[in-house]
Amino acid sequence: MPDEFYYPFFSLTASNLLDNKDETIKAFRKLEMIWPNDTPAQVEFYYSFYRQMIVLFAKPYMSSEFDFGRTEFFEELFSFGEKLAKMPEFKQARGVKHFIYVNRTNFGLYNILHELKANVKTDTYKPHVVDRFEADAVV
């Protein structure tokens, strides 16, 4: 994964960046989830929606252990995906191309772990996340 994707993406889940709206929007802009020509209303919409999506998708990484055998998590994921598929705002793809790989890889892994009813210790590895100023220099 190129640095210009890795750092802003993993900073969202490996730190408290999602608690800082301005910094989250900056990361979303770097990841092309929010575009330069989006209106303030669109920025707010996409910020809110993408933040909700990342919080949901990153649940396994946000605790020290995760039970993939629980169906509630997968019901939430599928419900969110169905909602997204019906929204006209997402008919045109957003985000850098690397999302395809990361999303498919994670979703495939999640499904395998679900079938295995695996309870996984998820706090054994944290991605390398540079501080915001160093990340800005990298990107």
Q: What is the pLDDT of residues 77-93, one digit of tens each?
A: 999 999 999 999 998 88
Length in residues, the chain: 139
pLDDT for 76 beyond 70: yes
Distances (CA, A) of 13 to 35, 60, 82, 115: 21, 10, 23, 25
Range 92-104 burial, b when 16+ CB lie within 10 A, else e? eebbbeebeebee
Band (139; pLDDT cuts 50, 70, 90) = very low
- CA distances to 68, 97, 132 from 20, rounded to whole Å, are 29, 25, 12
In sequence order, which ranges of the chain are alpha helices (DSSP H)?
Answer: 3-14, 21-30, 40-57, 71-85, 98-115, 132-138
Which residues make beta-bridge pairs with 66?
A: 120
Cα gap 8→23, rounded to integer Å = 10
62 or 86, higher pLDDT: 86
* Domain extents in the chain: 3-138
Q: What is the mean pLDDT of the chain?
A: 87
